[in-house]
Amino acid sequence: MTDPQTVSAAVAKLYDTYPFPPEPLLDEPPPGYNWRWNWLSAYSFCTGQKPQRQNIRILDAGCGTGVGTEYLVHLNPHAQITAIDLSGGAIAVAKERCQRSGAHRVEFHHLSLYDAHELSGEFDLINCVGVLHHLPDPIRGIQSLATKLAPGGIMHIFVYAALGRWEIQLMQEAIALLQGDQRGNYRDGVKVGRQIFAALPEKNRLVQREKERWSLENQRDENFADMYVHPQEIDYTIDTLFDLIDASGLEFLGFSNPRSWQLDALLGPQPELMQRAEHLNDRQRYRLMELLNPDAVTHYEFFLGRPPLPWSDWSVDEDLLNAIPDRNPCTDGWESRTLFDYDYQIVKLSQEEFEFLQACDVNGTEQRTIREILIQIPLELGHVRSLLDQRLILLTPR
């Protein structure tokens, strides 16, 4: 299947048959958050500083059933959101989802990523999760989106990784072989796939991988179909990923799961190896990590940006002292000394750290610089840097 129109029609048919993601519809805002969809937190991650404005335009490119769209609306109360998708069936679910939860600031379009140029204006934040790898021409898709990214804007992307999805690729091919001329009948594909898993020995590698990683979500046919009977999928390695990124003409701002890309977690016990790795550039280090830990790299999630973009590293004490701090809105459990951070990791605050965050958690003219706050709260500047490193605070230069 190589004709782009034929591929697009097959993909649309899959998602009309199994609208995805299949999360339940709620009559209230969705629980929790994904910080990557919060403009304040995402922009601060990419630039080191809080954005100057919140009345932005956001594009959810490939919105599916609107799970991400709904979060984008509720997490960005001053933004206007546009959502596009190839599947009319998925969009119908997305509209109902957003209406029921009160996510009213969204405009839907039944549109391919290739046709993003038909949308008016530019966007400050583009969210494209789980879509590009299902296009017959991902480079054309990312270039189409790049033309809609405003100067100073950022784009968040999620695509599949080949090494961590090896067993999935084998199962996809096995199902297709057994389906024969029934390929494209997605309900039959799900049936065949489940029969294969039921027939294989318990210690079979494909069965073990499914049980270890995917079986809980794959209880739903929608998830199973998206994973194993999708008509179009391109999986990446670091090398081919950066070919895609380079083709976009945008700047790579970093992986949005940086904890997964720390080489010392793999080679730290051997300082000589860490020293040998110092001569590698960033892309070579990323490649080394996925080679050494392939099972862990099932996808890549990252930010791209269109210059000009500011950058602050806050390494100069005077700059840090003069900055205005805000508590990161993507924390759960506040107001408490024990809370979950932006990545749902438990953080235990000292009394002084807690009081500092309280002083950051104010509005408008009450906001003070770090220097002014530290006059009243006996917190060392090193501990302020720790709060910044944990991304519990966002900073605005003054």
For residues 38-66, give the mean pLDDT: 98
Beta strands in 117-264 (DSSP E): 123-129, 149-160, 251-255
Please check whether residue 145 is in contact with residue 281, taking contact to mean a CB–CB distance below 8 angstroms. Answer: no
Q: What is the percent of the chain where pLDDT is above 70? A: 99
pLDDT at 366 over 80: no
For residues 58-71, give the mean pLDDT: 98
pTM, to two decimals: 0.96
Residue 237, Cβ neighbours under 10 Å: how many? 18
Please name the residues in contact with 191: beta carbons below 8 A apart, sequence gap of 6 or more: none
For residues 206-225, give the mean pLDDT: 97
pLDDT at site 362: 76
pLDDT at site 367: 84
List the domain boundaries for the chain.
4-162+235-305, 167-228, 317-396
**Dihedral angle computed from the Cα positions of residues 81, 86, 87 and 92, in that order, rounded to the nearest 10 degrees:** 20
Q: How confident is the model at residue 3 (pLDDT cuts 50, 70, 90)?
A: confident
Superfamily classification of domain 4-162+235-305: Vaccinia Virus protein VP39 (3.40.50.150)
pLDDT at 1 over 60: no
Residue 281, Cβ neighbours under 10 Å: how many? 8
For residues 171-177, give the mean pLDDT: 98
Closest C-alpha to 60, from 98, 17, 11 = 98
- CA neighbours within 13 Å on the CB side: how many for 32? 10
pLDDT at site 363: 65
How many residues are given for the chain? 398
pLDDT at site 222: 98
The pLDDT tens digits of the residues spanning 317-362 come to 999 999 999 999 999 999 999 999 999 999 999 999 999 999 998 7
For residues 48-58, give the mean pLDDT: 97
Q: How far apart (Å, rounded) are the C-alpha atoms in residues 209 and 216?
A: 12
Q: How confident is the model at residue 364 (pLDDT cuts 50, 70, 90)?
A: low
Q: How confident is the model at residue 179 (pLDDT cuts 50, 70, 90)?
A: very high
The pLDDT tens digits of the residues spanning 259-318 come to 999 999 999 999 999 999 999 999 999 999 999 999 999 999 999 999 999 999 999 999
pLDDT at 2 over 70: no
pLDDT at 240 over 60: yes
Please check whether residue 384 is in contact with residue 358, taking contact to mean a CB–CB distance below 8 angstroms. Answer: no
pLDDT at 4 over 90: no
- Tokens 């898993």 correspond to 197
